[in-house]
Amino acid sequence: MSMYKKVLFLAALGYAVPHHACNATPWLEVKPSYFFFTAAPMRDVYRHGGFEVQGSVSVPVCANLDLYGSIGYREAWGRALNSGEKTSLRVIPVDFGVKPTFNFCERWYYFFTIGPRYFHFNQQNKSPYVDCKISSDGMGFFINTGFNVLLADSVLLGLFGEYSFERKGVWPNKSGVFSNGSVQIGGFAAGVSVGYAF
C-alpha cells in the first residue's frame, strides 16, 4: 500500500472513530425486578422470592462496548423451616463490568453484561434457635441481558434478566446450631428498566 493510501486510510479511520463516539452516549437506568433464589435452602425459607431495585450507569469506551456499574438493594421475607418464625434478608450488591451493546432497527438495543459483584447482606431472624442478626460481605459475579428501546427525548425503556452468584460462608454464634458453612444467596432477577440517554 502506497504512503498516499495509508494516509487516506488513517484519516478516514480517525474521522470514523470520533464520529461513532459522539453518537454513543452514557445511559443512566433504574431497574426494579422480581428476584428468586436458585439454592434449595433459600427457596424453602423465602418461598415468594423478593424485590430488588438497581441504579446503573453505562459509559461507552469504544464501538459496541460500554463500561457498566450499578448499586442495588434486595429484600426478601420468609419463615424458618422448622419453627416458622419470621426472617428477612437484605442484600446490597455493587457491580462493575463490561457491557457489549448492539443497535438494531434504529432505536432498539440488545445488550449483555458480565463482571464481578461485591455484596453485603444482613439477615434478621425472630427464631430463638439461631442468631438474631447475621451480616457479612463477599465477592461473586453477575451476568445480565436484555433489550432497550430509545424513545423521544432520550428516554429508555427496557426488559432484562439477570443471574447472580453470591456464595458466602455462614457460621452461627449460638452453640448447638448446625450450619454447613456455605450458602448461595444469589439467583435470578427479571424486571423492567427506565432510563435516560445523555
pLDDT tier at 195, thresholds 50, 70, 90:
very high
Model pTM score: 0.80
* Yes or no: domain 27-197 corresponds to CATH 2.40.160.20: yes
* pLDDT attached to residue 178: 46
Q: What's the mean per-residue pLDDT of the chain?
A: 84
pLDDT tier at 31, thresholds 50, 70, 90:
very high
Give 78-123 pLDDT, tens digit per residue.
Answer: 887 777 788 899 999 999 999 999 998 889 999 999 999 999 999 8
> Greater confidence, 136 or 146?
146
**Residues comprising the chain, all counted:** 198
What's the average model confidence in pLDDT over 142-146? 98
Percent of all residues in the chain with a pLDDT value above 70, rounded to a whole number: 79
> Greater confidence, 43 or 133?
43
* pLDDT attached to residue 147: 96
Place of cell 452453640: 175
5-14, 77-86, 140-149, 169-178: least confident range: 5-14
Q: CB within 8 A of 162, min separation 6: which ones?
A: 33, 142, 143, 144, 145, 188, 189, 190
Q: Are 168 and 134 in contact (CB under 8 A)?
A: no
* pLDDT attached to residue 77: 94
